[in-house]
Structure 1
Amino acid sequence: MKIKTRFAPSPTGYLHVGGARTALYSWLYARHAQGTFVLRIEDTDLERSTPEAIDAIMQGMNWLDLSWDEGPYYQTKRFDRYNQVIDQMLVKGTAYRCYCSKERLEKLREEQMANGEKARYDGHCRCDEVQKSRSANEPHVVRFANPIDGVVVFDDLIRGPIEIANKELDDLIIRRTDGSPTYNFCVVVDDWDMEITHVIRGEDHINNTPRQINILKALDAPLPQYGHVSMILGDDGQKLSKRHGAVGVMQYRDDGYLPEALLNYLVRLGWSHGDQEIFSRPEMIEFFTLDAVSRSASAFNTEKLLWLNHHYINHLDADYVAQHLLWHMNKQGYDLSNGPDLITIVKLYGERSKTLKEMAESCAYCYQDFAQFDADAAKKHLRLVAKEPLEFVKQKLSAIADFDWQIDIIHQAIQGAADELGVGMGKVGMPLRVAVTGIGQSPSVDATIHAVGKKRALARIEKALDYIEARADQ
């Protein structure tokens, strides 16, 4: 059997973390089996579906590089097909027209709730008498004639056997009064037409599964296998939501995460392969199986995601990381021709940065001058005692030819200044760092000065000397 999975988001908002994990699991299952992965946009909710949400989903899938083999299919472009199937069901008797008014349905619901019963449609229009006494031209919805007796049993690929009695299910609406088909019905026809063999989705769809199975059986269509993934919780044990910082996938891009880090984190958020924590994409494909997916809810841990991101910043090819860093550098508004290449930045700041956003913010002094020195750093290091070391190292750096402006030669100049002055490296290096960067922390001072450039570094040292002079006069 050729494995075929699908990811079928509703475009009513961004692609969130839970949706991205579902997409990843479906994608991995197909790739592991050398099958087919389908992208389907379930946009039957005409009021809430938006082009912006569709664009956000596409952006998220492309950024994560979860490429699809078929699609994207749009349900709104398949209404003729759905209605064709519904009309056939009306003839066959597996669906019927319901003429009940909104008032009758509301009264029925109120009575059922008052009696402690489960609110559901009572099948009033299912009988032949109602059907014969009413006209198809009257306003109506179409309902599926759900089996009255028996049970629906399916073997969930993650949760094991699940059994639901048909008496717990009512005759759901499959076509609205305005003629538009409903979500649960469109899903069924799509899975049938697209020959989906495995449906991997969130546990919030478990209640939909028996309804969809019954419709598939009524259509004499093959049944896919179903696997329902548990929800993701915040670190407080509550369902993940905006208040936990849970936002669209592209917000993680904006916050400076690499797609590899987010994918690695999501795959482990409910799935494991021994004690392994770091997975390359080929390893995910090779090892992924649904029987290793946990039935329990998973808690989102931002610190773990940051740890993974730091790992990937420092272990992926620097050229690749630089490509992702470019977006953040442009966001900061830097003139990139006015400083070092981005591969240099990645190598220089990788160990110090948990995110690319943090990296872009940290290297600002490599591309643009700062207005003033950090007050605490200047108070501690730009004192009168630092004047002689700064003047001495400035002379040493000035003497380096432009073509010899290399990290090792810069280091020798700084070390030489310290040696000749008979002081420790810190007595020269710390004032020099504050002078060149404006702050008290940076990568190694020789590499930082190299990245800043000779002309700019010397000008900043002179600025620091002026600051020391002005401070001494106060």
Structure 2
Amino acid sequence: MSAVKTRFPPSPTGHLHLGGARTALFNWLFAKHHGGAFLLRFEDTDRERSKQEYVDSIKEALEWLELFWDEGPYFQTQRLEIYADYAQKLFKEGKAYYCECSPEVLEEKRKKALAEGRKPKYDGTCREKGLGPGPGRVLRFKCPQTGTTVVEDLIRGAVAFENQELDDFVLVRPDGIPTYQFAVVIDDLTMGITHVIRGDDHLSNTPKQILLFEALGATPPKYAHVPMILGPDGSRLSKRHGALSILAYRDEGYLAQAMRNYLVRLGWSYGDQEIFTLEEMIEKFDLSRVSKSPARFDPDKLLALNAHYIRQEDTERLAEMVLPFLLRLGIKIDNPKDEKFLKAVESVKPRARTLKEMAEMMAFYFVPEVEYEEKAARKFLKPDILPVLEELLDALKNMPAFEEKALEDLFRGLAEKHQLKLKHVAQPVRVALTGRTVSPGLFEIMDILGKETVIKRLEKALQHIREAS
């Protein structure tokens, strides 16, 4: 095999979503597995919809996923002279022709073909007119009218297309801008692309592109068409399934390694293995293991995978990663290596599923005063617990060693004295300290908060109970 070169050619008309990110990942992994190169190319000939913000967003998403490109980024709008040269070559060799049929005439032809039960393809009116370039004229490819074009797909096997079913498709529009079909072939040819891995919605384009390569006297790249991603309900994946752009997942607190791992398993497998490092993906990735069936997006599985990676992550690194999410909540941490902060991260690490969730879970450690959840306060901060909390507060003030084991002993002794279950003492204290009924272990959070903060928050809770009653 010659040196492998793959490409990812997004249109900068929107942000990078799951399907595009998976395509980029598969191309990147295939290139890296074979010691080849991965190229980034922007298909930006749709000038109305293409925007710089989407170029920047797509690059940012690929960089976040660590899918760094070896070549590019290239832009089709900067290559118009190259396309013009190849268009002239095809015209001069009689492999393409100019067509003067107006959009209105073409629409009438389309309607007539449909009414007669025929495929609505161009009928070749201008095929033998010998027209040259002129205002309003397009350049069409002179597609063979007999024979078969076979796509030797690396995932699906051989797929045959009858040439007579194909169209004399447009290569260059009246304004001189190449169509997708033409530009992509010239790009792949001149950039030395050896393998095209893309969604199976492109399969119908492939015979046209192969014929173009052959007309140019070139060998087409090898093609692999990956089945699409479906929503949980089996329909085509869309926003209504909860699918977000890649950067939106990042901003919701998903980890890049979790997203990569989830994407690679959407249609590819390696035995029963579910968790892969990036190095393992590169080592094991092969197109023979890509499924022929569509993959289904499962947001719950992605969330569970993200939780796994959070649990596995180094605490100091996790502490750095959660800082922006805390800042969104108005909490600024000056020293992310501070012992209290690292302990706080460690306490929520086994429970958080996203960095956003982690920030929300640990915010109570760093706010000046906690806000009580209404339902929690109504249920647990009641007058009947007042004597127990007052006694607890006195004991805490006089406690010499403020640490987890001593705190647990104190609570157990107090519960026994008042003939209560431990939870009937612990839950009101949890609400007093965190504002909610669910948190990391109570004695763990008391140790992290420290004696002074615990006493202050308990005093506030006592005041709340007295005022409420």
Shift of residue 413 of structure 1? 5.5
CA–CA distance in structure 2, aligned partners of residues 286 and 79 of structure 1? 38
Match of 2:212 among 212, 215, 220: 215
C-alpha contact (below 8 Å) 1:389/1:427 kept by paired residues: no
* Change in 2 beyond 3 A, CA 1:380/1:3: same
* Change in 2 beyond 3 A, CA 1:2/1:135: closer
CA-to-partner distance for each residue in 1:234-287, whole Å, 9 max, x for gaps? Answer: 111110111112221111112221121121111111111111111111111111
CA–CA distance in structure 1, aligned partners of residues 180 and 242 of structure 2? 29
Shift of residue 419 of structure 1? 6.9
* Change in 2 beyond 3 A, CA 1:428/1:79: same
> Are 1:183 and 2:180 counterparts?
yes
> Are 1:312 and 2:309 counterparts?
yes
CA–CA distance in structure 1, aligned partners of residues 143 and 51 of structure 2? 32
CA-to-partner distance for each residue in 1:414-455, whole Å, 9 max, x for gaps? Answer: 556557777654343222211111111110112212333443
> Are 1:238 and 2:227 counterparts?
no
The equivalent of 2:6 in structure 1 is 5
Aligned partner letter, 2:432: A
CA-to-partner distance for each residue in 1:269-312, whole Å, 9 max, x for gaps? Answer: 11111111111111111111111111111111111111111111
SS at match of 1:377: helix
Match of 1:330 among 308, 327, 330: 327
CA-to-partner distance for each residue in 1:92-149, whole Å, 9 max, x for gaps? Answer: 222111112222212211111111100111122121xx22xx4534431111111221
* Change in 2 beyond 3 A, CA 1:135/1:26: closer
The equivalent of 1:193 in structure 2 is 190
The equivalent of 2:88 in structure 1 is 87
Aligned partner letter, 1:66: L
Residue ranges of structure 1 left out of the alignment (5+ in a row): none
SS at match of 1:246: coil
CA–CA distance in structure 1, aligned partners of residues 368 and 435 of structure 2? 9
The equivalent of 1:76 in structure 2 is 77
CA–CA distance in structure 1, aligned partners of residues 429 and 339 of structure 2? 19
The equivalent of 2:355 in structure 1 is 356
The equivalent of 1:67 in structure 2 is 68
The equivalent of 2:108 in structure 1 is 107
CA–CA distance in structure 1, aligned partners of residues 7 and 243 of structure 2? 24
* Change in 2 beyond 3 A, CA 1:342/1:45: farther
* Change in 2 beyond 3 A, CA 1:104/1:209: same
> Are 1:365 and 2:361 counterparts?
no
Match of 1:299 among 296, 299, 315: 296
Residue ranges of structure 2 left out of the alignment (5+ in a row): none
Percent identity between the two aligned chains? 45
C-alpha contact (below 8 Å) 2:426/2:442 kept by paired residues: yes
Shift of residue 178 of structure 1? 0.6
CA–CA distance in structure 1, aligned partners of residues 6 and 55 of structure 2? 20
C-alpha contact (below 8 Å) 2:122/2:168 kept by paired residues: yes
Aligned partner letter, 1:363: M
C-alpha contact (below 8 Å) 1:258/1:324 kept by paired residues: no
CA–CA distance in structure 1, aligned partners of residues 364 and 339 of structure 2? 11
| TM-score normalised to structure 2 length | 0.93
C-alpha contact (below 8 Å) 1:235/1:299 kept by paired residues: yes
C-alpha contact (below 8 Å) 1:396/1:417 kept by paired residues: no
* Change in 2 beyond 3 A, CA 1:341/1:16: farther
> Are 1:446 and 2:469 counterparts?
no
Shift of residue 386 of structure 1? 2.6
CA-to-partner distance for each residue in 1:340-394, whole Å, 9 max, x for gaps? Answer: 7654333211222222222212222112145642233223322334333323333
Shift of residue 222 of structure 1? 2.2
CA–CA distance in structure 1, aligned partners of residues 366 and 95 of structure 2? 70
Aligned partner letter, 1:192: L
CA–CA distance in structure 2, aligned partners of residues 451 and 63 of structure 1? 33
* Change in 2 beyond 3 A, CA 1:8/1:407: farther
The equivalent of 2:121 in structure 1 is 120
RMSD: 2.2
* Change in 2 beyond 3 A, CA 1:380/1:105: closer
C-alpha contact (below 8 Å) 2:144/2:163 kept by paired residues: yes
* Change in 2 beyond 3 A, CA 1:470/1:135: closer
Count of paired positions? 466
The equivalent of 1:395 in structure 2 is 394
> Are 1:377 and 2:413 counterparts?
no
The equivalent of 1:228 in structure 2 is 225
SS at match of 1:373: coil
CA-to-partner distance for each residue in 1:208-236, whole Å, 9 max, x for gaps? Answer: 11111111111112211000011111111
Shift of residue 154 of structure 1? 2.0
* Change in 2 beyond 3 A, CA 1:135/1:218: closer
The equivalent of 2:429 in structure 1 is 432
The equivalent of 2:57 in structure 1 is 56
CA–CA distance in structure 1, aligned partners of residues 270 and 111 of structure 2? 50
CA–CA distance in structure 1, aligned partners of residues 342 and 212 of structure 2? 56
* Change in 2 beyond 3 A, CA 1:39/1:410: farther
* Change in 2 beyond 3 A, CA 1:398/1:77: farther
Shift of residue 334 of structure 1? 1.5
CA–CA distance in structure 2, aligned partners of residues 57 and 345 of structure 1? 34
| TM-score normalised to structure 1 length | 0.92
C-alpha contact (below 8 Å) 1:365/1:452 kept by paired residues: no
SS at match of 1:174: strand
SS at match of 1:206: helix
> Are 1:249 and 2:246 counterparts?
yes
The equivalent of 1:463 in structure 2 is 460
SS at match of 1:154: strand
CA–CA distance in structure 1, aligned partners of residues 103 and 466 of structure 2? 84
The equivalent of 1:148 in structure 2 is 145
> Are 1:270 and 2:267 counterparts?
yes
The equivalent of 1:136 in structure 2 is 133
